[in-house]
Amino acid sequence: MPRKLSLISQTLVALILCLAIYPLSARSSTSQENNSNQDQNQTADAGNPAPGDQTKVPVSNIKSAPTDEGQLATVNNAKIPSYAKVYVAPIPGGFENYIIAGLRNKKVPLTVVIDRTKADYEISGVSDSEKAGWAKMLFIGSQNSNEQASIKISNLKTGAVIFGYSVHKTNSARGKQSAGEACAKHIKQIVLE
Amino acid sequence: MSFKRNVVSILALLVVAAVSTALAGEKNTPPTQKIPKGAKVFVAPIEGGYDTYLKDAIAKKKVPVEIVASHDQADYEITGTAESQKASTAKKVILGNWHSREEASITVSNIKSAEVVWAYSVHEEASTHGKKSSAEACAKHLKEAIENQ
């Protein structure tokens, strides 16, 4: 009988200790997630996060890598299957056309569709173009424009953003065409061939 | 016992076959990117009336397509964007260049399948004939794409 009592008491103590330790360990793991730039264990298609976690998930999943032209970010090394159907959303200034032309020029194995409902992925973004002013022409002798654009690719089924890229070209020899091709070149890196 | 084993093995085979079929179905196939000669093409309005230049260039370069006035009659649609910037005073005085800067990008899509079958972008820093030059560049490359497939 006393042995039984001692066993029960030991179990109770263990339970209480577990309950006391668990919140501490959970808190420390959360702070580790916030500090690290990437979390390899989480899947790219984590689904829709809870409203409270919306700010946490992208920060922990996005991995940035320096490139020669801009900033590239992929989520857990996410890949797009070849010939996946991609919809390029309208971008102010008609930059979506330059992206599509860039995808073709760079031979990116994707199928671009004009109907969003038929697509698996969506490319959206912003672009900005700054023409050369008189000072640039006078002092530098350059009439090339400054181009900047930023795009992201999202999985339309899960809603997860799987890729992001931004490009900035100070003296773009071919204007928007160069920026569109730079975007396409980097999209190609995440397409499975 | 042997009957049970047979049933289990058949079921296992069926499961394997079903999974492999499903995986094969998921794989994307490359699109048939072809614009047939004589295809009916609708040129959608483009800002700055660029669609007019494009239609003219398609006719001038003898691109083997038929331009239709209505979207309903067409098999393919050309959409795009164009931007033209006239030479500024600075460009004229400092660089001695009177020519405009032209940028355009067009996309040809199959209306039925909603797939983009061809796309092209052009940039001319000092275009001698303005929009006409860039439209003719688009038409020339479209012709090449149709004839070389």
Per-residue pLDDT of A131-155, as tens digits, reads 888 888 888 888 889 999 999 999 9
State which H helix or E strand residue A133 sits in.
none
Contact: A97, B105; criterion CB under 8 Å = yes
CB proximity under 8 Å: B 121-140 to A:
121-123, 125
CATH of domain B39-147: 3.40.50.10610
Q: Which CATH number fits domain A56-188: 2.60.40, 3.30.160, 3.30.70, 3.10.590?
A: 3.30.160
Per-residue pLDDT of B35-72, as tens digits, reads 999 999 999 999 999 999 999 999 999 999 999 999 99
Q: pTM of this prediction?
A: 0.71
In this complex, the residue of B28, B47, B83 whose CB is nearest that of residue A82 is B28
pLDDT of the residue at A137: 85
In chain B, where the domains are located: 39-147
Torsion of CA A28, A29, A30, A35, to 10 degrees: 90
Per-residue pLDDT of B93-135, as tens digits, reads 888 888 899 999 999 999 999 999 999 999 998 888 999 999 9
pLDDT of the residue at A98: 95
The stretches in chain A having pLDDT less than 50 are 18, 21-60
Residues B106 and B53: their CA atoms lie apart, in Å, by 12
The DSSP symbol for B136 reads H
Quickly count: other Cβ atoms within 10 Å of residue A66's Cβ: 8
Cα-only R_g, chain A: 24
Quickly count: other Cβ atoms within 10 Å of residue A177's Cβ: 22
| CA distances to A90, A107, B23, B109, B121 from B81, in Å | 11, 21, 39, 14, 9
pLDDT of the residue at B24: 47
Measure in Å the smallest separation between the Cα of A77 and chain B Cα atoms. 20
CB proximity under 8 Å: B 2-21 to A:
none
pLDDT of the residue at A138: 85
Residue B31 and residue B115 in contact, taking contact as beta carbons nearer than 8 Å: yes
In chain A, where the domains are located: 1-34, 56-188
Residues A22 and A24: their CA atoms lie apart, in Å, by 5
pLDDT of the residue at A37: 32
Which residue(s) pair with A164 in the sheet? A73, A152
Residues A111 and A127: their CA atoms lie apart, in Å, by 23
B52 vs A: CB within 8 A: no
Residues B29 and A46: their CA atoms lie apart, in Å, by 26
Q: What b/e readout covers A74-97, taking b as 16+ CB neighbours within 10 angstroms?
A: bbbebbbebbbbbbbeebebbbbb
Widest pairwise Cα distance in chain B? 97
Residues 6 or more apart whose Cβ sits within 8 Å of residue A166: A70, A71, A148, A149, A150, A151
- Checking if the pLDDT of B146 tops 90, the result is yes
Residue of chain B whose alpha carbon sits nearest to that of A173: B125
Residues A46 and A52: their CA atoms lie apart, in Å, by 15
Cα-only R_g, chain B: 25
Measure in Å the smallest separation between the Cα of B92 and chain A Cα atoms. 10
